[in-house]
């Protein structure tokens, strides 16, 4: 990428790139005990319909109950719309050509608590979902570290994500294993405790 590009253009440049993972080489692979996992990059316009349906079905299987138990509730139509946003990008992990996990992300602006209301460039991980057979193999860590590399290459300031407080496994994974922190704009950081308790999610981030 062109390092002379004005900072204000980094989001636009990243979103208009044909392939944001080119810098990682001709292929992305992750090897674990009994798998050689290939990671393929797609934009929402290049993601095949079959994979779109698979990704939605995996998300629903993994997360529907958590959503139903939250203030958000579960809305299939709304979730499909989110997963088909024009700026969505996907990393699809496959073993023997069978998809087993994915990360969905966007390059976007995010607010800060700076006095001047400054917004910063971030790579936002909206979803990371693994099939049962792909769990506890380090793939989730590999996908998140790959997102961090992508964000750093495209001059983003942070990786950010949102997770339910009650999803203890996810909170432990991000904070204790990967070193993410509760972001300064998360409800628990900006609201009084009695107000923050009405929000059942945290916004997490790691600086790049």
The pair of structure tokens assigned to 74 is: 């579960």
127-182 pLDDT, tens per residue? 999 999 999 999 999 999 999 999 999 999 999 999 999 999 999 999 999 999 99
Contact between 48 and 96 under an 8 Å Cβ cutoff? The reply is no
pLDDT band for 3, please (50, 70, 90 cuts).
very low
DSSP symbols for 49-82: HHHHHHHHHHHHHHHHHHHHTSSS---HHHHHHH
User: Which of the 8 DSSP states describes residue 191?
Assistant: S
Which of 200, 116, 114, 121 has its CA nearest to residue 160? 121
For range 104-128, the mean pLDDT: 92
107 φ, ψ to 5°?
Answer: -90, 130
Domain spans in the chain, listed from the N-terminal domain onward: 10-207
Contact between 21 and 41 under an 8 Å Cβ cutoff? The reply is yes
Q: What is the CATH number of domain 10-207?
A: 3.40.630.30
pTM: 0.93
> Cα(200)–Cα(208) distance, rounded to whole angstroms?
26
């Amino acid at each position: 990428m062109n390092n002379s590009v004005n900072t204000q253009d980094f989001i636009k440049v990243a979103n208009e790139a044909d392939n944001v993972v080119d810098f990682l080489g001709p292929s992305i692979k992750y090897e674990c005990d009994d798998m050689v996992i290939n990671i393929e990059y797609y934009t929402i316009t290049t993601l095949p319909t079959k994979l779109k349906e698979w990704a939605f079905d995996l998300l629903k299987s993994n997360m529907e109950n958590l959503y139903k138990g939250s203030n958000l509730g579960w809305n299939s139509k709304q979730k499909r719309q989110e997963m088909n946003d024009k700026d969505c990008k996907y990393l699809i992990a496959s073993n023997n050509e069978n998809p087993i996990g994915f990360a969905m992300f966007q390059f976007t602006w995010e607010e800060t608590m700076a006095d001047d209301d400054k917004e910063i460039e971030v790579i936002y991980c909206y979803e990371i979902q693994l099939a049962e057979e792909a769990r506890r193999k380090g793939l989730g860590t590999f996908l998140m570290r790959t997102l961090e590399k992508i964000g750093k290459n495209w001059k983003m300031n942070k990786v950010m994500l949102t997770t339910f407080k009650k999803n203890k496994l996810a909170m432990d994974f991000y904070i204790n294993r990967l070193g993410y922190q509760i972001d300064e704009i998360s409800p628990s950081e900006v609201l009084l405790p009695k107000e923050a308790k009405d929000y059942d999610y945290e916004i997490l981030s790691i600086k790049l």
